[in-house]
Amino acid sequence: MAETHSYKMFGLFTRKFEVKEAHPSLDVVEAFAECTNRQSHMNVAQLRRFLVEYQAEEGCSDSDAALILNEIRRRRNLEDDQDLCFEDFFYFLLFADDLNGPIKKEVVHHDMTAPLQHYFIYTGHNSYLTGNQLSSDCSDEPIIKALQRGVKVIELDLWPNSDGDDIDVLHGRTLTTPVPFIKCLKSINEHAFAKSPYAVIITLEDHLTPDLQTKVAKMVIEVFGEKLYQPDNEHIDEFPSPEALKGKIILSTKPPKEYLKAKQSKDNKGKASKSGKDSSDDEMPEDSDGDQDDEDSDNDVSSAQPTQAGVPEYKRLIAIRAGKPKNGLSAALKGGLEKIRRLSLSETALEKAAEDHGADLVRKEFSAFYRTRITSSNYKPLVGWMHGAQMVAFNMQGYGKSLWIMHGMFRANGGCGYLKKPNFLMRRGPNDEVFDPSASSEVKKNLKVRVYMGDGWRMDFSKTHFDSYSPPDFYVKLSVMGGPADYAKKKTKIIDDDWVPHWDEEFTFPLTVPELALLRILVKEYNRSEKDDFAGQTCLPVSEIRPGFRSVPLYDEKGEKLPSVRLLIKFQFV
């Protein structure tokens, strides 16, 4: 053992910079040979044959293949009429992920003409925080980054400033430093449609006086102008579609009431408390700030004010009303909601509601599930999506598996921030039943994943990043998440001492709910004495995966794309 260790320490030290050249698998060699009739070069017609027969791109034309071939010529410095040699073809498969990526190309392809509540929406939580929920700075920079990534729901907590004459955005009752509300509005206005033209929803957690609510209304109108969506009616029976709402800004919050009604409500609650009775519903879940207000309830500061001259204008701008049903969550889920509203449940409330009323949560009304952790970590989002929640709110400041899943989910549909819900979440059965996430179901399809090889770490990482004395020892972990029966994990063997590892292993994943399944791919470097090193990750919506040999780019822990690292993977559905 001592001699072996000595050889590892000293014998391999001299070749820690050694990099083996990438070489293709026999499957790739055979595909090239088959499509070229064993010739040395591939022309347009032969490339089209490969794309149709091996990549399942049935609608591919000669002109489509010519566009790809011309782009490869440009990148490989080939002549305008030069065909592809095998090395050029291999480059296309492994490194040209923009031409040969693992999911459908970045175009919107879902039906965008259904009512807004028929979509999953890319949702941020406490979008203004730069770090943890208790002591980090508040800024418009995280808002800008979220919008540029494609997030379409931005949450702002509104509080009076220290002088009480203006509005700050901060996480209330914490040590977070504030950012002016007007600055956040201007940044949203500038960057709202950086990723796609579809509407941005601003959810407000409002802790303001009526005078400041009036100021909010004026600011919003002045900043957004014609972009601001203002509903014709106080209560909307059916929302417009994402297509109809392109370029619009939508406000969502709890509407204020008139002072007298608020005062009466408070008096009644006070009497109930004195008599030893609690006027709140025992089943009422907390919202994201822990409030226990009922439907259309007053905000905690405004209800104490004697005048609300400007409140009607503020109320009129609220398109998606937040609030809780008058008779409690259980009654509402059983009997239906008479108005469209945003229902907010914390992580713990969601878990309890899913356990007690799982099938009843799958509804068309807006529902938003919020995380409750102070570290900016996130929970498992599939629970919310499986129960039909349009807005599963996430902290975009942190990183980890759950956030990778969120990024992966919204890579679908061209990354536009809106995903049409699967039909099974929208349809009702003959007895008015809805999809039950906990019910067992049959396997609909199998996803086969063959992991061939990877390359690019030598360009993106220093030669001693993973190991000071030898090349790295990479392996790949594959995880499928979705329906309760679809969770599975697989792992390749470890390839020792190789910057260009070749695994050539195939795994099969049975799927009962392929419409909501996600495939997470994580590469790690084996470490014998410490925790294995992170070497890249990605998450792919299974419904968007393109069959065939695909170039799979990897991302860092915060979701930023690594410049060079790619995996060559073959996907099949059987």
* Crossing angle for the helix pair 44-53 and 62-75, to the nearest 10 degrees: 110
More confident residue, 259 or 409: 409
395: Cα separation from own chain's centroid: 11
Given a cut of 60, whether residue 454 has pLDDT beyond it is: yes
More confident residue, 255 or 561: 561
Q: How far apart are CA 19 and CA 165, in angstroms?
A: 64
The pLDDT assigned to 393 comes to: 80
Closest CA to 390 of 417, 408, 412: 417
335 and 219 fall within a common domain: yes
Closest CA to 320 of 567, 155, 566: 155
132-176 pLDDT, tens digit per residue, is 555 567 899 999 999 999 999 999 999 999 999 999 998 866 667
The mean pLDDT of 244-267, rounded to a whole number, is 72
The pLDDT assigned to 524 comes to: 98
The pLDDT assigned to 238 comes to: 76
The pLDDT assigned to 324 comes to: 67
The mean pLDDT of 379-404, rounded to a whole number, is 78
Q: How far apart are CA 488 and CA 480, in angstroms?
A: 5
347-369 pLDDT, tens digit per residue, is 666 667 666 665 666 654 555 55
More confident residue, 133 or 26: 26
Where does the pLDDT of residue 271 fall: very low under 50, low under 70, confident under 90, or very high at 90 and above?
very low
Return the CATH number at 90. Answer: 1.10.238
Given a cut of 70, whether residue 386 has pLDDT beyond it is: yes
269 and 148 fall within a common domain: yes
Kindly state the greatest CA–CA separation across the chain: 91
Q: How far apart are CA 29 and CA 346, in angstroms?
A: 53
More confident residue, 349 or 196: 196
Q: How far apart are CA 406 and CA 375, in angstroms?
A: 17
**Catalytic machinery residues:** 125, 171
> Percent of the chain beyond pLDDT 70?
74
129 and 214 fall within a common domain: yes
200: Cα separation from own chain's centroid: 15
> Percent of the chain beyond pLDDT 90?
56
Q: Are 72 and 92 in contact (CB under 8 A)?
A: yes
DSSP 446: E
257 and 141 fall within a common domain: yes
Winning range, highest mean pLDDT, from 271-275, 340-344, 552-556: 552-556
147 and 124 fall within a common domain: yes
More confident residue, 137 or 530: 530
The pLDDT assigned to 75 comes to: 97
Given a cut of 50, whether residue 306 has pLDDT beyond it is: no
Residue appearing with tokens 């504030």:
178
End residue of a domain, out of 369, 398, 426: 426
- Determine, yes or no, domain membership for 367: yes
The pLDDT assigned to 434 comes to: 72
**CB atoms closer than 10 angstroms to residue 424:** 14
Q: What residues form DSSP beta bridges with 178?
A: none
Q: How far apart are CA 427 and CA 436, in angstroms?
A: 12
Closest CA to 452 of 476, 423, 484: 476
End residue of a domain, out of 426, 461, 481: 426
* Domain that includes residue 473, residue range: 440-573
Q: What residues form DSSP beta bridges with 541?
A: 518
105-131 pLDDT, tens digit per residue, is 778 999 999 999 899 999 987 778 876
Q: What is the average pLDDT value for the chain, to the nearest integer?
A: 82
The pLDDT assigned to 133 comes to: 58
Q: Which two three-digit tokens encode residue 66? A: 């010519």
Q: What residues form DSSP beta bridges with 97?
A: none
More confident residue, 184 or 309: 184
The pLDDT assigned to 567 comes to: 98
Given a cut of 50, whether residue 275 has pLDDT beyond it is: no
Q: How many folded domains does the chain comprise?
A: 3
The pLDDT assigned to 293 comes to: 41
Distances (CA, A) of 236 to 250, 318, 328, 457: 13, 11, 21, 53
Angle at 265 between CA 262 and CA 270, to 5 degrees: 125
220 and 269 fall within a common domain: yes
Given a cut of 50, whether residue 485 has pLDDT beyond it is: yes
Flag the least confident range among 43-57, 210-224, 335-349, 477-491: 335-349
- Determine, yes or no, domain membership for 206: yes
For the whole prediction, is pTM greater than 0.75? yes
End residue of a domain, out of 100, 127, 145: 100
The pLDDT assigned to 402 comes to: 82
282 and 207 fall within a common domain: yes
**CB atoms closer than 10 angstroms to residue 563:** 9
277 and 407 fall within a common domain: yes
The pLDDT assigned to 196 comes to: 97
Given a cut of 90, whether residue 503 has pLDDT beyond it is: yes
Q: Are 284 and 330 in contact (CB under 8 A)?
A: no
142 and 210 fall within a common domain: yes
- Determine, yes or no, domain membership for 382: yes
Closest CA to 241 of 274, 199, 279: 199
Closest CA to 151 of 194, 94, 114: 194
209-227 pLDDT, tens digit per residue, is 999 999 999 999 999 999 9
Q: What residues form DSSP beta bridges with 177?
A: 137
419 and 470 fall within a common domain: no
60-114 pLDDT, tens digit per residue, is 999 999 999 999 999 999 999 999 999 999 999 999 999 999 998 778 999 999 9
The pLDDT assigned to 239 comes to: 86
The pLDDT assigned to 332 comes to: 61
The pLDDT assigned to 256 comes to: 81
Q: What residues form DSSP beta bridges with 84?
A: 42
Q: Which two three-digit tokens encode residue 271? A: 């009497």
R_g of the chain computed on alpha carbons: 27
Distances (CA, A) of 148 to 151, 307, 396, 402, 540: 7, 40, 12, 20, 19
- Determine, yes or no, domain membership for 168: yes
The pLDDT assigned to 345 comes to: 67
